[in-house]
Amino acid sequence: MPLTTEDRLAIEQLYARYNHAIDSGKGPEWAACFTPDGVFTSPNGTFTGTEQLAGFGSSLTQRLKVRHWINNLVLDADGDGAKGTCYLVLWQLKEGAPAAPLITAIYVDTLSKAGGDWRFSSRTVNGD
C-alpha cells in the first residue's frame, strides 16, 4: 500500500519526537517511539523492548550532551509498514565551546503503524 501524505507527515514527526526525546534524556518518551518489541542497534549495543529502550534513552545524556541532526529522509512503503533511511550527524555539546560533530551515520529503519500511530519496529545505526 502506498504511503499517504498524512503517513509521511506522521513519520516525519516520529523522527523529530525521537530526536527531541533522546537529546533531552527522556527515555520513556524515546522508547514510546518504538513498538513494544522494538529493536535499536547501534555501536552502543542492541536494546530490545520498552524497558531496555527506556533505560538506554535515559542514560545517553548522562554520559554525553548531544544533539541528533537528521537529513535526507527517504521513505518507502513496505507492505502494511514502511522502510526509512536518513543521514545522522551527532553533535557533541561542550560548555564554552562550539558544537562539534561526534559521528556521522545512516539510520536504517523499519516502521509499522498500529492504532493509527507510526512507530519504529527496528532502527539500526550504520556508522562510517
Of the candidates 88, 75, 65, the one whose C-alpha atom is nearest the C-alpha of residue 7 is 75
The cell numbers describing 1, all together, are: 500500500
Q: How far is the CA of 104 from the CAs of 87, 121, 126, in angstroms?
A: 7, 22, 9
The whole-number pLDDT of residue 70 equals 97
Q: Would the pLDDT of 96 be above 70? A: yes
Kindly report the pTM of this predicted structure: 0.93
Tell me the domain boundaries of the chain: 5-127
CATH architecture of 5-127: Roll (3.10)
The whole-number pLDDT of residue 128 equals 62
110: confidence class by pLDDT, cuts 50, 70, 90? very high
Q: Would the pLDDT of 73 be above 80? A: yes
